[in-house]
């Protein structure tokens, strides 16, 4: 859902800067061609996540979130204004059947260009066609290319194999950061119950065939020591990196590999027999978004995309009639 909002929001005069922290949530899409509102309705209570996300991406709420009056169905709503006259809102509540739901809406889109705060029927129709055309674009295309490039790199580059040899393949994750720009190969390892290691090297990518072409510079390696893991009220682990911090150059890495992971040859005093309590939980919290991205992000995004494409195709075949998808 975050990726869809990020792509579509500019069409409504809203610029969202990031979707970091917003989980993939299956949603129902509602759009009326004769209104100036775009909305998503989610089953469940996602107000805390949406409120945090919108506060960061759009700006602080316009006043404190408001709750429904006594006697009304329980609910809470917050509004976030923009400098283009657009209002974004999110709210959570229960319906008559007692089911929890969360709503997200972009209201008054196009106000800056139209002036009156509402779009004409022609503009509405044009905007809706743009939405439908956007639905034809695969939102996971870059992820799919990324995964193919990673698989290819693991086969042709020496660094991934070296990291796996030293720390074990099950303790290592590989990914490419800044994939569409100045791409960086990353091999991340978690070891001895208290250390994290990241090997990074700049690479060139063949985007047409989704392959890594070659390495563009020397590798750099960072090792950080976790001294304590704290847990929030929700149970989320957070690490205190108050121990040692080391940085190795590529020649030092070669020495470490050549000597079978003997840290003394690179003057890094690794403690191998004192694991930190909660380290595995912390490591998993960092690794899970990488290891289970296809299941937890790609799958629901693909399902939502396919649903929206079907809804868009259906509504696009009935011009002139009110278009509403539930």
Specify whether 304 is located in the same domain as 281.
no
Whether 287 and 301 map to the same domain: the answer is no
Q: Are residues 22 and 98 in the same domain?
A: yes
User: pLDDT for 62-71, tens place per residue?
Assistant: 666 667 655 5
- In this prediction, residue 322 carries a pLDDT of 42
Distances (CA, A) of 208 to 145, 195, 202, 211, 221: 9, 37, 19, 8, 30
Give the Cα separation of 6 and 3 in Å (integer). 5
**Residues 51, 179: one domain?**
no
For residue 167 the two structure tokens come to: 């720390």
- Looking at the predicted structure, is the pLDDT value of residue 91 above 80? no
Lowest mean pLDDT among 137-141, 217-221, 268-272: 137-141
Mean pLDDT of 56-78: 66
In a domain? residue 322: no
Helix residue spans in 83-205 (DSSP H): 111-114, 121-135, 141-156, 158-167
The 10s digit of each residue's pLDDT in 207-225 is 999 999 999 999 999 999 9
Of 149, 145, 137, whose CA–CA distance to 3 is shortest? 137
Tell whether 321 is covered by a domain: no
pLDDT value of residue 8? 44
Q: Which of 163, 237, 253, 166 is nearest to 174 (CA)?
A: 163
Which of 64-73, 74-83, 100-109 is the least confident region? 64-73
Q: Classify residue 52: in a domain, yes or no.
A: yes
Collapsing DSSP states into helix, strand and coil, what is residue 94?
Answer: strand
Q: Where are the alpha helices (DSSP H) in 42-157?
A: 47-57, 111-114, 121-135, 141-156
The answer to the question of residue 326 being in a domain is no
Q: At what angle do helices 299-316 and 121-135 cross, to 10 degrees?
A: 140
| Tally of domains in the chain | 2
Q: What's the confidence (pLDDT) of residue 206?
A: 94
Task: State the average pLDDT over residues 177-200.
Answer: 91
């Amino acid at each position: 859902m975050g990726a869809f909002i990020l792509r579509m929001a500019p069409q409504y005069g809203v610029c969202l800067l990031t979707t970091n922290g917003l989980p993939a949530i299956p949603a129902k899409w509602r759009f009326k061609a004769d209104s100036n509102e775009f909305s998503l309705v989610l089953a469940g209570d996602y107000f805390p996540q949406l409120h945090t996300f919108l506060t960061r991406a759009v700006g602080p709420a316009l006043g404190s979130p408001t709750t429904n009056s006594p006697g009304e169905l329980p609910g809470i709503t917050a509004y976030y204004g923009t400098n283009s006259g657009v209002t974004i809102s999110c709210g959570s509540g229960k319906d008559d059947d007692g089911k929890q739901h969360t709503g997200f809406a972009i209201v008054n889109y196009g106000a800056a260009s139209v002036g009156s705060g509402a779009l004409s029927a022609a503009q509405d129709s044009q905007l809706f066609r743009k939405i439908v055309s956007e639905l034809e674009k695969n939102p996971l295309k870059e992820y799919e290319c990324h995964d193919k490039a990673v698989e290819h790199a693991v086969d042709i580059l020496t660094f991934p194999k070296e990291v796996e040899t030293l720390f074990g393949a099950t303790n290592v994750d590989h990914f490419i950061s800044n994939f569409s720009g100045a791409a960086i190969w990353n091999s991340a390892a978690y070891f001895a119950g208290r250390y994290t290691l990241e090997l990074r090297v700049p690479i060139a990518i063949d985007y047409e065939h989704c392959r890594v072409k070659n390495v563009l510079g020397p590798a750099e390696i960072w090792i950080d020591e976790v001294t304590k893991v704290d847990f929030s009220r929700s149970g989320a682990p957070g690490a205190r990196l108050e121990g040692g911090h080391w940085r190795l150059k590529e020649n030092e890495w070669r020495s470490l590999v050549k000597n079978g992971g003997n840290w003394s040859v690179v003057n890094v005093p690794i403690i191998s027999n004192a694991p930190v309590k909660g380290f595995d939980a912390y490591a998993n919290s960092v690794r899970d978004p990488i290891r289970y991205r296809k299941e937890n992000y790609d799958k629901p995004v693909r399902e939502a995309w396919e649903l929206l494409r079907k809804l868009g195709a259906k509504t696009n075949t009935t011009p002139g009639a009110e278009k509403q998808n539930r």
